[in-house]
Amino acid sequence: MRKCRHTTLFMAILLTMLIPIFPANAVGSSHTTDSSHGSDRYDLYREFPEHTDVTINFSYQFEVTGGSADVDLNVAIPFDIPLSTYESSLIVQDVTDVHLSTVNIGENVYEPLPYEDHNTHMNQISGWRLTDIRGDISIEAEFSARLYYQKWNVNTTDSGTTADITSPYKDLYLDDEWEVDQDDDGIPEQYRYHPGSPIIQRTAYALTDQEPTVLGKVRAIYDWMRQHFNTTADDQRVIDKIKYGAYPKWPEGCIADWYGDNDDQSLLMASMLRAVGIPAWLELGYRYDRSIEQWFGHGWLNVVIPVRSGWEFHQVVAPIDIVHQEFLTRDPYRITEWVDNGTSFTNEKGELTFNLDHYYNFFSETSGPQVMVFLGPTTITTPGFEEYGYVRDYYDHIGEQGDDDSSLPLPNPILLVPLLFLMALPAIRSRRR
């Protein structure tokens, strides 16, 4: 009997000691939602150039052995942001040159596929259609651009609610999209945008229920993801390729794994935002890692925030990069090649294809049974890179990504106090005896 009383008292004390390990800002707690800085975090800053002038060279190599093959190699053409032939007060990306090489194979000459002016057209695929080729093939593409730092300063006072978001964003970016049909039976098993998923809905609602504004909801989901998810490690990437294929994982997979690449995490956050009525979509390209001077394929998301302007609201479209802690900020180290436009189209085979499939599927080949086609890694070099000016960017530091590996979503610790008190009552009564 005495042993039971001591055990009960010990459990009550132990549970009380565990209270601090629950992160109070996971669900239902108050936190600052300004995009610049907040009182419940400590402010750090980092410096970015005002703009960079870059030249990026892509070199593709592949080998055809045992006969001949037909090869399609697709290249997405970067474009001006915003699309315009006139100067704009908000310039994000100014593409100055696009060069795709002519391919000479024996007596055959292959010109790149035609494309429109990059000043006025986005989401264009060019590349090469090579027929009856064999041996070692090398092809190059080179882009030059001026890339700008931009920050979208939005606060909760000016932010509207989801009712203030207008078309076409609601029409294009709120539904389940980008089907995953692994067995090719015409019935999707998953969606890579999946706001209709029960676990996505429950999590998103729990995180945002106390946030009335769009900015507040966006910030709550962003903070939760920063705290709970890690970036994919090399050994995990091998496993992911087996589980999910060469495309990004679907959001339920990201939640189950508690890690993901940049595009994986962006699709999860976009799905959660869509679940609470906020349009969000993927943007894709390359980002320069200044520390090792290399470019890597990269994905981030765009979100719509209605902002009060007089008696009306205008729709602000701003980027979020979860992995690099850029909230409503765009650094001058990234170049955009593709932006999800929310539509599908009919490909050359007559199949209805979502636009992002068109971007990710950049290489295909047709060959006989004895022919082998080996695609080597794409070599990316930087013939030109210059930085101009500097800006100090303040951001809210909430710990390293994935610091909190608690399950989802976590309870407010205040709610545990009555439970702990009740569990301690037997011990208190026994002491009085």
Number of residues assigned to the chain: 433
Residue 410 lies in a domain: no
Which residues are bridge partners to 71 per DSSP?
130, 365
- 191 and 279 share a domain? yes
Residue 357 carries which side chain, given as an amino acid letter?
A: D
- 127 and 235 share a domain? no
CA distance 288 to 335: 9
Per the CB < 8 A criterion, the answer to whether 210 and 379 are in contact is no
How far lies 374's CA from each of 64, 65, 318, 363, 367, in Å? 7, 8, 40, 11, 12
- 206 and 275 share a domain? yes
How far lies 211's CA from each of 27, 270, 396, in Å? 11, 17, 19
- 299 and 202 share a domain? yes
- 272 and 215 share a domain? yes
In this structure, how many other beta carbons lie within 10 angstroms of the beta carbon of residue 203? 22
- 185 and 232 share a domain? yes
pLDDT at site 29: 35
- 259 and 170 share a domain? yes
CA distance 178 to 195: 12
- 304 and 256 share a domain? yes
Residue 403 lies in a domain: no
- Domain, as residue range, for 121: 51-147+348-388
Q: Where are the beta strands (DSSP E) in 216-333?
A: 230-231, 259-260, 280-289, 294-309, 312-321, 326-327, 329-330
| DSSP, residue by residue, 37-74 | --TTSEEEEEEE-SEEEEEEEEEEEEEEEEEEEEEEEE
Residue 394 lies in a domain: no
Per the CB < 8 A criterion, the answer to whether 42 and 302 are in contact is no
Per-residue tens of pLDDT for the chain, all 433 residues: 444 444 444 444 444 443 333 333 333 333 333 443 333 444 577 889 999 999 999 999 999 999 999 999 999 999 999 986 555 567 899 999 999 999 998 889 999 999 999 999 999 999 999 999 999 999 999 999 999 999 999 999 999 999 999 989 999 999 999 999 888 888 888 999 999 999 999 999 999 999 999 999 999 999 999 999 999 999 999 999 999 988 999 999 999 999 999 999 999 999 999 999 999 999 999 999 999 999 999 999 999 999 998 889 999 999 999 999 999 999 999 999 999 999 998 877 777 889 999 899 889 989 888 899 999 989 999 999 999 999 887 766 555 566 554 444 543 333 333 333 333 333 333 333 3
Q: Name the phi and psi angles at 236, rounded to 5.
A: -70, -30
CA distance 3 to 404: 35
Per the CB < 8 A criterion, the answer to whether 141 and 77 are in contact is no
- 253 and 324 share a domain? yes
Q: Is the peptide bond before 82 cis (omega within 30 degrees of 0)?
A: yes
In this structure, how many other beta carbons lie within 10 angstroms of the beta carbon of residue 173? 25
In this structure, how many other beta carbons lie within 10 angstroms of the beta carbon of residue 382? 13
CA distance 420 to 260: 36
Per the CB < 8 A criterion, the answer to whether 326 and 319 are in contact is yes
Residue 409 lies in a domain: no
Residue 90 token pair: 């908000």
CATH code: domain of residue 184: 3.10.620
CA distance 232 to 103: 36
- Overall domain count for the chain: 3
- 326 and 373 share a domain? no
Residue 399 lies in a domain: no
- 68 and 157 share a domain? no
Sequence-distant (6+) residues with CB within 8 A of 343 are 172, 355
- Domain boundary (331, 358, 375) is at 331
What distance, in Å, lies between the first and last C-alpha atoms of the chain?
A: 12
- 131 and 176 share a domain? no
Residue 251 lies in a domain: yes
